[in-house]
Structure formats: C-alpha cells, structure tokens
Structure 1
Amino acid sequence: MLITSYNPDSLGDTLIAIVAQDEANQTSKQAGDVVVITGKDDKLLGVNFFNVSKILGTIDARGQVFLTPDQVAKLNAALTAAGFTQQLEADATPKFVIGVVTEFVAHPDSDHLHITQVDLGGYTKQIVCGAPNAALGQHVVAALPGAMMPDGKVIWPGALRGVDSYGMLCSARELALPNAPQERGILVLPDTVAAGTPYDFDKAAAFLAAK
C-alpha cells in the first residue's frame, strides 16, 4: 500500500507517503530532506520528503497524488542516498471501487448499523454501514483500505461495535461531489455500473447533477 499526498499551501514542498497505519509507539529519523517513520520491529509506516520538487520536479496535483512506478523509483533512490534501507512499493490498485450490496443484515449490537457483503468484482468484502438509505442490491461507491477521502481522512480496516469492516460505503458529500445533498445517505448509482469498476469522480458528479 502506498498513499501519497501533496499540500504545498499548508506543508510547503513536502510529499507525505503513508504505507501503514499509525502505531502507538512510532519513531522518526531524519537524514537531509528525508524523514522515515517506523513502528514496532522497525516496520515502515511512512516517509516525508521535504523539497520533493528536487526529486520529482513540479507536482501540479493537490491532495492525494498518484505516482507512477518511475516516480516511486526516484523516491526510493532518494531514500537510499539518504542512507535508509527502507523502500516504497508502487501501488496502482484502485481504492474507490463500485460495489454491489449482495447481503444486508442488521448489526447485532446496534439499532442503526447494518453488516453488508459487497461484491467488488470477483471478490467480496464485509463493510459495516450506518446510512439510513442503504439497502440490498444497491450499486454503491466503496472506499477501500488505502483510500484517501477528499477531506484527507485515510480509510483503514477496522471494526464497528465489534464487527470487522473492510472499508466504507460513501455518500456524495463524503466524496465532495458538487451540489451533494447534505443529509445522511450513501450515493446510489445506476445498476448499469458494474461491480469492480474504478470510481470516476467526474462521471459521478455528472450523474448527481442530472438527478
């Protein structure tokens, strides 16, 4: 997993790379413009690259940045040059995916949560959902572990009231779509959008505008 973000207005010319969830007792070590964050047993959690434009050139994107394998290789060369042994791995796996709710049951310890099984195109994941409009058979947007939401929140595997959940079913507001309804409720897509299709923000915005 590799999640990278770039926000020069608030952080300057710094690329944040996240590869694992924060741990309670993590440490950081800086060498030059590179800071490596590790957890238990020296597990790599993330890397901060200061003055990253010297490594990658100009970055036009803001927020989450999707790097090419060549760009990741340049970051790894910077890690090695700074004396670190850790390396990043390129990750092109879509993290926002169209899913179909194939099972929908009440949570045993909640009066509003439901446990869903979501077909993501060849495989199924369990996602706990609290949206009031969620229902069996819907085509939805699933944010999977490794997804960075528009507000900067990163999705990780977790549990809701003791039930494992592998992601989140998203509302239009959470996806920051233009003119998104402000009331609670997931974004329900047409049945013609196949499970496993990578989510397209522009197409979803057009769909919402046409409703």
Structure 2
Amino acid sequence: MNLFYNKNGVGDVLMVTIDPVTEGLVYEYENDITIIKSESNVVGFNIFNASKYVQLEGNGNIKVQEKHINSIQDLLEKNHIDYKLEADLSSKFVVGYVTEKSKHPDADKLSVCQVDVGDETLQIVCGAPNIDQDQKVVVAKVGAVMPSGMIIKDAELRGVPSSGMICSMKELDLEGAPNEKGIMVLEDSYTVGTPFFEDER
C-alpha cells in the first residue's frame, strides 16, 4: 500500500494505491471516498477532505504508518465499505550485500546479482557498470516508492526474474549525486538488513 498527498498541488486529497493498475479502471463514490476498482478488485482509494480523517505530515509520498492504516480503515468502516487494508510496514530501502554476480544470459550490459538483505536473499538484475560482488549497496525492495514516484515491483528483465532494485545516489535523490552512471557503493560500516534512511528506523 502506498500513500500520496500534496495539498498545494492536488488539494486535500489522499491517494491510496493498493495495486498500481492504470487500465480498465472503474470508480464508485461513497461520501468523501472514491473507490477505484479493476475487474471488480479494489486497487485504490481517493479520500477527499483527507486532513479531517487522517493525520498527515509533509507532501508527496507518505511513509505508511500504523496510525494511517487505522484511520483509513475506520473511515472505510464508517462508510460501510467492506475492505480490509493490509500493509507491509517494514523498511523498503535497506542495506544489502552482493554475494554473487554473474552475466545476464541475454544482455551484455546486465548483471544478475544475488543480494543478501538480512532476512532473505534477493535476485536482482542490475545494469550499473560498477556493480560487483562483495559490495554493500542500497536495495529498494518490492513495494518501495522511489522519489520519482515509481513503485518497485517484481519484474523480468530479458527473461530473468528480478525482485527489487540496487540504487544509485541519483535514484535516491541524494545530494551530491554524480553524473556518471553507477550504483551507490556503501562503506563496510553499514550493517546488512538495516534501514538505509534514518526515518525508517
């Protein structure tokens, strides 16, 4: 589940994305709530006059917290909308360790990496020229919302499954990002599996 709120740009509307489907959408309306469906499945909600119902800080992509889930669920129930919210509150940007790197079988500029993120090992296809084995890196896990607004999903790149993204400083919108292409390589002092951003701790 992802939340987006920009009062100055959009108005007092909280956009709740459950499944980032963009085609074949139908809309149902219940007071201040627009229910967004695709093939009868709920894929999101737009909540108008959102500040009356949900405590929100900042603009743009909002880090989902338990208080948000509780407030939205309460609002759905008060409007007799039969839907149970589920959200993974674990950190989506974590420190990873590249345990293996091999050439992509069908693309010279892509590498297939096995990346330890603490509680699991992810297979991630990476196109960065400086990716290598035994590096500590920043991993955007499936479900992460990038600063650009892109949502990280399971994918296949030239036929090879990939779960997550190894990030560059530019993709993370960090100050001092170099112009050259390449992922961000972390110092050895970082601990594998821990959140990369302080506000995710």
Q: TM-score, normalised by structure 1?
A: 0.88
Identity %: 39
1:56 correspondence with 2:54: yes
Equivalent AA in structure 1 for residue 81 of structure 2: F
Deviation at 1:23, TM superposition (A): 5.7
Equivalent AA in structure 2 for residue 46 of structure 1: G
User: Distance between the aligned counterparts of 2:44 and 2:151, measured in 1?
Assistant: 13
The SS at the match of 2:53 is helix
Instruction: Pick the aligned partner of 2:96 from 67, 90, 99.
Output: 99
- In structure 2, the partner of 1:191 is 188
Which of the pair is proportionally richer in strand? 2
User: Distance between the aligned counterparts of 1:68 and 1:144, measured in 2?
Assistant: 17
- In structure 1, the partner of 2:177 is 180
Q: TM-score, normalised by structure 2?
A: 0.92
User: Distance between the aligned counterparts of 1:163 and 1:152, measured in 2?
Assistant: 24
1:82 correspondence with 2:102: no
User: Distance between the aligned counterparts of 2:168 and 2:182, measured in 1?
Assistant: 6
User: Distance between the aligned counterparts of 2:64 and 2:175, measured in 1?
Assistant: 26
Deviation at 1:8, TM superposition (A): 1.6
Structure 2: tracts of 5 or more residues without a match: none
Alpha carbons 1:21, 1:156 under 8 Å: kept: no
Alpha carbons 2:31, 2:79 under 8 Å: kept: yes
User: Distance between the aligned counterparts of 1:170 and 1:91, measured in 2?
Assistant: 21
User: Distance between the aligned counterparts of 2:187 and 2:45, measured in 1?
Assistant: 40
Deviation at 1:38, TM superposition (A): 2.1
1:162-206, Cα deviation, whole Å (9 max, x unpaired): 11110111000000001211221000001221211111268xxxx
User: Distance between the aligned counterparts of 2:64 and 2:159, measured in 1?
Assistant: 35
**Cα pair distance change 1:201/1:177, threshold 3 Å:** farther
1:72 correspondence with 2:69: yes
Alpha carbons 1:4, 1:18 under 8 Å: kept: yes
User: Distance between the aligned counterparts of 2:41 and 2:143, measured in 1?
Assistant: 17
Equivalent AA in structure 2 for residue 84 of structure 1: I
- In structure 2, the partner of 1:25 is 24
Aligned residue pairs total: 199
Deviation at 1:48, TM superposition (A): 1.2
Structure 1: tracts of 5 or more residues without a match: 203-211
- In structure 2, the partner of 1:206 is none
